[in-house]
Chains A and B, each alone.
Chain A
Amino acid sequence: MNRREALFSLGSMAAAGGLASSAKAAELHGVPAQTALSADNMPTPARRGGAFQVLTDDTDRATVKAVFDRLIPSDELGPSASEAGCLEFLDDQLAGDYGSGKALYLEGPLRPENEEAIMGSPQFLSTPRERYNTGLKALEAYAQKTDGAAFSALSPDRIDAILTDLEAGKLDLGKDVNGQAFFELMLQNVREGYLADPMYGGNKDMAGWKMIGFPGARYDYRPYVDRHDQDLSLTPVSIIPSN
Chain B
Amino acid sequence: METRPKADVVICGFGWAGSTMAEELTRAGLNVVAIERGKWRDTSTDFPPAVDPDELKWHTRRNMLQPMSVETTTFRNNTGQTAAPVRNWSAYQFGWDVGGAGTHWAGMSWRFTPWDFQVATQTKERYGAGRLNELDLDFVQDWGVTYDEMETYYDRFERIAGTSGKAGNLNGQKIKGGNVFEGARKREYPTPPLKDTYWMSKYRKTVEDMGYHPFTIPAGNLSQSYVNTLGVTMGPCTYCGFCDFHGCGNFSKSSPQACILPALMRRKNFTLLTETEVLHGVKSEDGKTLTGVNCITADGTEVFQPADVVCFTAYQMDNVRLMLLSKVGTPYDPSTGEGTIGRNYNYQTCASMTGFFDDSHMNPFIGAGALGVQIDDFNGDNFDHAGLDFIGGGGIMGYSTDGRPIAHMNSLRGGAKRWGSEWKKAYARDYSTAGNIFVQGTSMPTRGNYLSLDPNYKDRHGQPLLRVTFDWAENDKKMTNWVTDKAKEIMVNAGGKDINLERQTDQSWNPYSQDSSHTIGGAVIGADPTRSALNPYLQSWDCPNLFVVGASAFPNNGGYNPTVTVGALAIRAAEAIHTEYMKNPGALVKA
Residues of A within 8 A of B (CB): 7, 14, 20-21, 23-32, 34-38, 40-43, 70-73, 75, 77-78, 97-98, 102-107, 109, 111, 114-115, 118-121, 123-125, 160, 163, 187, 191-192, 195-197, 200, 208-209, 211-222, 224-226, 228-232, 239
A192 with B265: CB separation less than 8 A: no
Given contacts A118-B76, A119-B84, A211-B427, contact A104 B239 (CB under 8 A): no
State which residues 425-460 of B face A: CB under 8 Å.
Answer: 425, 427-428, 431-432, 456-458
A72 with B84: CB separation less than 8 A: no
B43-67 toward A: CB 8 Å interface, digit per residue (1/0)?
0111111110111110011110001
Closest CB pairs A-B (n = 6)? A25-B297, A103-B67, A217-B53, A105-B68, A228-B198, A212-B431
Rounded to whole angstroms, the CA-CA distance of A174 and B361 in the bound complex is 47
Q: Inside 8 A of A30's CB, which chain B residues have their CB?
A: 265-266
Name which of B155-163, B273-281, B286-294, B321-329 contacts chain A.
B273-281
B405 with A20: CB separation less than 8 A: no
Q: Inside 8 A of A160's CB, which chain B residues have their CB?
A: 420
Q: Inside 8 A of B457's CB, which chain A residues have their CB?
A: 107
Q: Taking CB as reference atom, which chain B residue is nearest A105?
A: B68
Given contacts A104-B68, A107-B85, contact A219 B45 (CB under 8 A): no
B409 with A191: CB separation less than 8 A: yes
Q: Inside 8 A of B232's CB, which chain A residues have their CB?
A: none
State which residues 382-437 of B face A: CB under 8 Å.
Answer: 403, 405-406, 409, 418-421, 423-425, 427-428, 431-432
Closest Cβ–Cβ distance, residue A75 to chain B (whole Å): 5
In the complex, B86 has a CB within 8 A of chain A:
yes
A41 with B41: CB separation less than 8 A: yes
| Tier of interface size on chain B | 35 or more
B511 with A239: CB separation less than 8 A: no
Q: Inside 8 A of B86's CB, which chain A residues have their CB?
A: 105, 119
Given contacts A105-B87, A221-B240, A225-B239, contact A98 B363 (CB under 8 A): no
A102 with B67: CB separation less than 8 A: yes
Given contacts A41-B45, A125-B87, 17 further A-B contacts (CB under 8 A): A25-B274, A26-B273, A31-B266, A104-B67, A115-B84, A123-B87, A123-B88, A195-B55, A196-B60, A211-B427, A212-B428, A214-B365, A222-B239, A224-B363, A228-B201, A230-B363, A231-B361
B45 with A104: CB separation less than 8 A: no
A230 with B84: CB separation less than 8 A: no
Rounded to whole angstroms, the CA-CA distance of A219 and B51 in the bound complex is 10
Give 13 CB contacts A-B under 8 Å. Answer: A25-B298, A27-B273, A34-B45, A41-B63, A72-B423, A115-B84, A118-B84, A200-B56, A213-B428, A214-B431, A228-B201, A230-B363, A232-B363
Q: Inside 8 A of A40's CB, which chain B residues have their CB?
A: 39
Q: Inside 8 A of B57's CB, which chain A residues have their CB?
A: 43
* Contacting residue for A118 out of B49, B83, B89, CB 8 A: B83
Rounded to whole angstroms, the CA-CA distance of A228 and B427 in the bound complex is 21
* Contacting residue for B85 out of A28, A31, A41, A105, CB 8 A: A105
B419 with A187: CB separation less than 8 A: yes
Q: Inside 8 A of B428's CB, which chain A residues have their CB?
A: 77, 211-213
A20 with B39: CB separation less than 8 A: yes
Rounded to whole angstroms, the CA-CA distance of A71 and B366 in the bound complex is 29
Given contacts A25-B275, A103-B62, A103-B67, contact A195 B72 (CB under 8 A): no
A77 with B365: CB separation less than 8 A: no
In the complex, B271 has a CB within 8 A of chain A:
yes
Given contacts A212-B428, A228-B198, contact A32 B40 (CB under 8 A): yes
A37 with B45: CB separation less than 8 A: yes
A106 with B87: CB separation less than 8 A: yes
In the complex, B69 has a CB within 8 A of chain A:
yes
In the complex, B529 has a CB within 8 A of chain A:
no
Q: Inside 8 A of B82's CB, which chain A residues have their CB?
A: 111, 114
State which residues 318-353 of B face A: CB under 8 Å.
Answer: none
Given contacts A104-B68, A106-B87, contact A214 B512 (CB under 8 A): no
In the complex, B95 has a CB within 8 A of chain A:
no
Residues of B within 8 A of A (CB): 39-42, 44-51, 53-57, 60-63, 67-69, 72, 75-77, 81-89, 195, 197-198, 201, 236, 238-241, 261-262, 265-266, 268, 270-276, 297-299, 301, 360-361, 363, 365-366, 403, 405-406, 409, 418-421, 423-425, 427-428, 431-432, 456-458, 507, 510-513
Q: Inside 8 A of B60's CB, which chain A residues have their CB?
A: 192, 196
Q: Inside 8 A of B81's CB, which chain A residues have their CB?
A: 114, 118
Closest Cβ–Cβ distance, residue B242 to chain A (whole Å): 8
Closest Cβ–Cβ distance, residue A240 to chain B (whole Å): 9
Q: Inside 8 A of B406's CB, which chain A residues have their CB?
A: 191-192, 195-196
Q: Taking CB as reference atom, which chain B residue is nearest A203?
A: B405
A163 with B419: CB separation less than 8 A: yes
Q: Taking CB as reference atom, which chain A residue is nearest B424?
A: A77
A229 with B198: CB separation less than 8 A: yes
Given contacts A24-B298, A218-B240, A229-B360, contact A77 B421 (CB under 8 A): yes
Rounded to whole angstroms, the CA-CA distance of A124 and B282 in the bound complex is 37
Rounded to whole angstroms, the CA-CA distance of A34 and B42 in the bound complex is 11
B49 with A211: CB separation less than 8 A: no
Rounded to whole angstroms, the CA-CA distance of A104 and B50 in the bound complex is 28
